Amino acid sequence: MNFLLPFPFLAGLAAAGLVNYLADVLPHSLRLTRPVCANPHCRQPFAWGDYLLLRRCRACGQRRGPRALLVIFLLVSVSLYLWFEPPSRLGYGAGLLLFAYLSLVALIDLEHRLILRGLSLAGLVLCAAAGWLLHGWQSTLLGFLAGFGIMLIFYLLGLLFTRLRARRLGQDPKEAEEAFGSGDVTLGSLLGLLLGWPLIWGGLLLGLLLYGALSLLIILGLVFLRRYQQHAWTMFLPLGPGFILMTVLMIYFPALIAALLPK
Protein backbone atom coordinates (compact mmCIF):
# COMPACT_ATOMS: atom_id res chain seq x y z
CA MET A 1 0.00 0.00 0.00
CA ASN A 2 3.00 2.28 0.49
CA PHE A 3 3.36 3.00 -3.22
CA LEU A 4 -0.04 4.72 -2.97
CA LEU A 5 1.18 7.10 -0.23
CA PRO A 6 1.63 10.07 -2.61
CA PHE A 7 -2.13 9.98 -3.11
CA PRO A 8 -3.25 10.95 0.45
CA PHE A 9 -0.34 13.40 0.57
CA LEU A 10 -1.49 15.16 -2.61
CA ALA A 11 -5.16 14.96 -1.60
CA GLY A 12 -4.25 16.61 1.73
CA LEU A 13 -2.34 19.35 -0.13
CA ALA A 14 -5.29 19.95 -2.46
CA ALA A 15 -7.75 20.07 0.45
CA ALA A 16 -5.45 22.52 2.30
CA GLY A 17 -5.21 24.74 -0.79
CA LEU A 18 -9.00 24.79 -1.05
CA VAL A 19 -9.49 25.56 2.67
CA ASN A 20 -6.89 28.38 2.56
CA TYR A 21 -8.40 29.84 -0.59
CA LEU A 22 -12.02 29.75 0.62
CA ALA A 23 -11.03 31.15 4.04
CA ASP A 24 -9.26 34.02 2.24
CA VAL A 25 -12.01 35.00 -0.20
CA LEU A 26 -15.40 33.96 1.24
CA PRO A 27 -15.55 36.29 4.29
CA HIS A 28 -14.77 39.31 2.08
CA SER A 29 -16.57 38.76 -1.18
CA LEU A 30 -18.89 35.76 -0.69
CA ARG A 31 -17.80 34.89 -4.22
CA LEU A 32 -15.00 32.84 -5.74
CA THR A 33 -12.81 35.82 -6.63
CA ARG A 34 -9.05 36.17 -6.91
CA PRO A 35 -7.45 36.31 -3.43
CA VAL A 36 -6.03 39.71 -2.46
CA CYS A 37 -3.14 40.82 -0.22
CA ALA A 38 -4.09 40.83 3.48
CA ASN A 39 -2.47 44.24 4.05
CA PRO A 40 -5.49 46.60 4.40
CA HIS A 41 -3.56 49.43 2.67
CA CYS A 42 -2.62 47.25 -0.30
CA ARG A 43 -5.37 44.74 -1.21
CA GLN A 44 -3.69 43.96 -4.55
CA PRO A 45 -4.92 40.71 -6.13
CA PHE A 46 -2.40 37.86 -6.16
CA ALA A 47 -1.29 36.10 -9.32
CA TRP A 48 -2.50 32.47 -8.92
CA GLY A 49 1.02 31.05 -9.04
CA ASP A 50 2.26 33.43 -6.32
CA TYR A 51 -0.79 32.67 -4.22
CA LEU A 52 -0.49 28.89 -4.42
CA LEU A 53 3.26 28.94 -3.71
CA LEU A 54 2.68 31.17 -0.63
CA ARG A 55 4.92 33.92 -2.04
CA ARG A 56 4.84 37.37 -0.46
CA CYS A 57 2.81 40.17 -2.06
CA ARG A 58 4.62 41.68 -5.06
CA ALA A 59 3.06 45.12 -4.55
CA CYS A 60 3.84 45.75 -0.86
CA GLY A 61 6.13 42.85 0.08
CA GLN A 62 3.94 41.64 2.95
CA ARG A 63 4.55 38.03 3.91
CA ARG A 64 1.76 35.51 4.05
CA GLY A 65 0.78 34.74 7.66
CA PRO A 66 1.58 31.42 9.36
CA ARG A 67 -2.01 30.25 8.92
CA ALA A 68 -1.56 29.00 5.34
CA LEU A 69 1.32 26.74 6.45
CA LEU A 70 -0.54 25.55 9.55
CA VAL A 71 -3.54 24.56 7.42
CA ILE A 72 -1.28 22.64 5.02
CA PHE A 73 0.41 20.81 7.90
CA LEU A 74 -2.96 19.96 9.52
CA LEU A 75 -4.74 18.77 6.39
CA VAL A 76 -1.81 16.70 5.09
CA SER A 77 -1.35 15.02 8.52
CA VAL A 78 -5.07 14.29 8.85
CA SER A 79 -5.24 13.00 5.27
CA LEU A 80 -2.39 10.55 5.96
CA TYR A 81 -3.98 9.51 9.27
CA LEU A 82 -7.37 8.89 7.61
CA TRP A 83 -5.69 6.89 4.85
CA PHE A 84 -4.51 4.37 7.44
CA GLU A 85 -7.38 4.73 9.94
CA PRO A 86 -10.46 5.61 7.88
CA PRO A 87 -13.41 6.50 10.15
CA SER A 88 -15.86 3.60 10.18
CA ARG A 89 -18.81 3.90 7.75
CA LEU A 90 -17.49 7.21 6.42
CA GLY A 91 -14.30 6.03 4.75
CA TYR A 92 -11.28 8.02 3.61
CA GLY A 93 -12.78 10.32 0.93
CA ALA A 94 -15.90 11.44 2.78
CA GLY A 95 -13.86 11.66 5.99
CA LEU A 96 -11.33 14.04 4.41
CA LEU A 97 -14.04 16.15 2.75
CA LEU A 98 -15.91 16.51 6.04
CA PHE A 99 -12.74 17.36 7.94
CA ALA A 100 -11.81 20.02 5.36
CA TYR A 101 -15.28 21.53 5.63
CA LEU A 102 -15.19 21.64 9.45
CA SER A 103 -11.68 23.18 9.44
CA LEU A 104 -12.90 25.88 7.05
CA VAL A 105 -15.89 26.78 9.25
CA ALA A 106 -13.70 26.82 12.40
CA LEU A 107 -11.03 28.93 10.66
CA ILE A 108 -13.47 31.58 9.43
CA ASP A 109 -15.09 31.69 12.88
CA LEU A 110 -11.66 32.16 14.54
CA GLU A 111 -10.46 34.81 12.10
CA HIS A 112 -13.68 36.76 11.52
CA ARG A 113 -16.13 35.55 14.18
CA LEU A 114 -18.44 34.67 11.36
CA ILE A 115 -20.41 31.59 10.44
CA LEU A 116 -21.31 32.26 6.81
CA ARG A 117 -24.86 31.44 5.79
CA GLY A 118 -23.98 30.15 2.31
CA LEU A 119 -21.31 27.90 3.75
CA SER A 120 -23.75 26.59 6.38
CA LEU A 121 -26.29 25.70 3.68
CA ALA A 122 -23.69 23.66 1.80
CA GLY A 123 -22.75 22.10 5.15
CA LEU A 124 -26.35 21.13 5.79
CA VAL A 125 -26.28 18.81 2.77
CA LEU A 126 -22.80 17.48 3.58
CA CYS A 127 -23.50 16.89 7.29
CA ALA A 128 -26.92 15.31 6.63
CA ALA A 129 -25.33 12.85 4.19
CA ALA A 130 -22.46 12.08 6.59
CA GLY A 131 -24.87 11.69 9.55
CA TRP A 132 -27.04 9.32 7.55
CA LEU A 133 -23.98 7.18 6.73
CA LEU A 134 -22.75 7.30 10.33
CA HIS A 135 -25.93 6.49 12.27
CA GLY A 136 -29.05 6.31 10.06
CA TRP A 137 -31.64 8.96 9.26
CA GLN A 138 -33.72 8.85 12.47
CA SER A 139 -30.76 9.56 14.74
CA THR A 140 -29.57 12.22 12.29
CA LEU A 141 -32.92 14.01 12.22
CA LEU A 142 -33.35 13.90 16.02
CA GLY A 143 -29.75 15.05 16.46
CA PHE A 144 -30.45 18.00 14.16
CA LEU A 145 -33.52 19.05 16.17
CA ALA A 146 -31.69 18.64 19.49
CA GLY A 147 -28.60 20.54 18.29
CA PHE A 148 -30.79 23.37 17.03
CA GLY A 149 -32.91 23.45 20.21
CA ILE A 150 -30.02 23.35 22.70
CA MET A 151 -28.10 26.10 20.90
CA LEU A 152 -31.23 28.22 20.52
CA ILE A 153 -31.72 28.17 24.30
CA PHE A 154 -28.05 29.12 24.81
CA TYR A 155 -28.43 31.85 22.21
CA LEU A 156 -31.45 33.37 23.95
CA LEU A 157 -29.72 33.19 27.35
CA GLY A 158 -26.62 34.78 25.83
CA LEU A 159 -28.71 37.56 24.35
CA LEU A 160 -30.19 38.29 27.76
CA PHE A 161 -26.72 38.30 29.37
CA THR A 162 -25.35 40.63 26.66
CA ARG A 163 -28.24 43.06 27.10
CA LEU A 164 -27.78 43.14 30.88
CA ARG A 165 -24.03 43.63 30.61
CA ALA A 166 -24.38 46.34 27.96
CA ARG A 167 -26.79 48.20 30.23
CA ARG A 168 -24.35 47.95 33.15
CA LEU A 169 -21.43 49.20 31.03
CA GLY A 170 -23.64 51.88 29.48
CA GLN A 171 -23.18 50.55 25.92
CA ASP A 172 -25.75 50.43 23.19
CA PRO A 173 -27.05 46.82 23.40
CA LYS A 174 -27.15 46.63 19.58
CA GLU A 175 -23.41 47.20 19.37
CA ALA A 176 -22.38 44.87 22.16
CA GLU A 177 -20.49 41.74 21.18
CA GLU A 178 -22.39 38.51 21.67
CA ALA A 179 -20.90 35.37 23.19
CA PHE A 180 -23.38 33.34 21.19
CA GLY A 181 -24.19 34.44 17.66
CA SER A 182 -27.11 33.21 15.59
CA GLY A 183 -24.44 31.41 13.54
CA ASP A 184 -23.79 29.19 16.55
CA VAL A 185 -27.40 27.99 16.39
CA THR A 186 -26.80 26.98 12.76
CA LEU A 187 -23.55 25.33 13.78
CA GLY A 188 -25.35 23.39 16.56
CA SER A 189 -27.80 22.07 13.96
CA LEU A 190 -24.95 20.97 11.68
CA LEU A 191 -23.12 19.19 14.49
CA GLY A 192 -26.45 17.61 15.54
CA LEU A 193 -26.72 16.07 12.07
CA LEU A 194 -23.16 14.80 12.32
CA LEU A 195 -23.22 13.39 15.84
CA GLY A 196 -26.87 12.30 15.83
CA TRP A 197 -29.11 11.57 18.76
CA PRO A 198 -28.20 11.12 21.64
CA LEU A 199 -24.49 11.80 21.09
CA ILE A 200 -25.15 15.50 20.34
CA TRP A 201 -25.83 16.11 24.06
CA GLY A 202 -22.41 14.83 25.04
CA GLY A 203 -20.80 16.60 22.09
CA LEU A 204 -22.14 20.03 22.99
CA LEU A 205 -21.51 19.58 26.71
CA LEU A 206 -17.93 18.39 26.20
CA GLY A 207 -17.46 21.11 23.57
CA LEU A 208 -18.49 23.72 26.12
CA LEU A 209 -16.04 22.26 28.67
CA LEU A 210 -13.28 22.23 26.06
CA TYR A 211 -14.10 25.85 25.20
CA GLY A 212 -13.91 26.78 28.89
CA ALA A 213 -10.58 25.01 29.28
CA LEU A 214 -9.12 26.64 26.14
CA SER A 215 -10.35 30.11 27.21
CA LEU A 216 -8.81 29.63 30.63
CA LEU A 217 -5.48 28.61 29.07
CA ILE A 218 -5.53 31.67 26.82
CA ILE A 219 -6.40 34.01 29.71
CA LEU A 220 -3.65 32.45 31.86
CA GLY A 221 -1.26 32.87 28.94
CA LEU A 222 -2.22 36.54 28.63
CA VAL A 223 -1.78 37.05 32.39
CA PHE A 224 1.61 35.37 32.16
CA LEU A 225 2.64 37.61 29.28
CA ARG A 226 1.21 40.61 31.18
CA ARG A 227 -1.04 41.42 28.28
CA TYR A 228 -4.18 40.89 30.28
CA GLN A 229 -6.02 44.14 30.75
CA GLN A 230 -9.42 45.15 31.93
CA HIS A 231 -10.86 44.97 28.44
CA ALA A 232 -10.37 41.22 28.38
CA TRP A 233 -13.55 41.00 30.41
CA THR A 234 -15.46 42.47 27.49
CA MET A 235 -13.71 40.23 24.96
CA PHE A 236 -15.10 36.86 23.93
CA LEU A 237 -13.50 34.01 22.08
CA PRO A 238 -15.80 32.50 19.47
CA LEU A 239 -17.48 29.33 20.73
CA GLY A 240 -17.81 27.56 17.39
CA PRO A 241 -14.25 26.17 17.15
CA GLY A 242 -14.60 24.51 20.59
CA PHE A 243 -17.69 22.63 19.46
CA ILE A 244 -16.14 21.76 16.11
CA LEU A 245 -12.95 20.45 17.73
CA MET A 246 -14.99 18.22 20.06
CA THR A 247 -17.07 16.90 17.14
CA VAL A 248 -13.92 16.12 15.17
CA LEU A 249 -12.47 14.24 18.15
CA MET A 250 -15.69 12.25 18.60
CA ILE A 251 -15.96 11.25 14.93
CA TYR A 252 -12.30 10.70 14.08
CA PHE A 253 -10.80 9.65 17.42
CA PRO A 254 -13.64 7.86 19.26
CA ALA A 255 -11.19 5.64 21.14
CA LEU A 256 -9.45 8.70 22.61
CA ILE A 257 -12.73 10.16 23.92
CA ALA A 258 -13.82 6.78 25.31
CA ALA A 259 -10.48 6.46 27.14
CA LEU A 260 -10.77 9.94 28.67
CA LEU A 261 -14.35 9.58 29.93
CA PRO A 262 -14.99 7.92 33.31
CA LYS A 263 -16.41 4.42 32.95
Contact footprint for Zn ion (CB under 5 A): 37, 39, 42, 57, 59-60, 62
Residue 33 Cβ, how far from Zn ion at the closest point, in Å?
16
Please identify, using beta-carbon distances, which residue of 56 and 117 lies nearer to Zn ion: 56
3-class state of residue 45 by DSSP: strand
CB-nearer residue toward Zn ion: 20 or 139: 20
CA-closest candidate to residue 103, choices 1, 236, 245: 245
Q: Which of 196, 202, 188, 191 is nearest to 134 (CA)?
A: 196
For 164, the 3-state DSSP assignment is helix
Contact 135, 88 (CB under 8 A): no
Smallest distance, Å, CB 112 to Zn ion?
19
- Of 51 and 180, the one with the shorter C-beta distance to Zn ion is 51
Q: How far is the CB of 26 from Zn ion (least distance, A)?
A: 20
- Residue 58 CB, nearest distance to Zn ion (Å)? 8
CB 8 within 8 A of CB 92: yes
Smallest separation (angstroms) from Zn ion to the CB of 54:
14
Question: CB within 8 A of 165, min separation 6: which ones?
Answer: 176
- CB-nearer residue toward Zn ion: 60 or 223: 60
CB atoms within 10 A of CB 3: 6
Residue whose CB is less far from Zn ion, 57 or 244: 57
| CA nearest neighbour of 160 among 138, 139, 178, 133 | 178
Q: Which is nearer to Zn ion, 42 or 70 (CB)?
A: 42
Q: CA 100, CA 156: separation in Å to the nearest integer?
A: 30
In whole angstroms, how close is the CB of 29 to Zn ion at the nearest point?
17
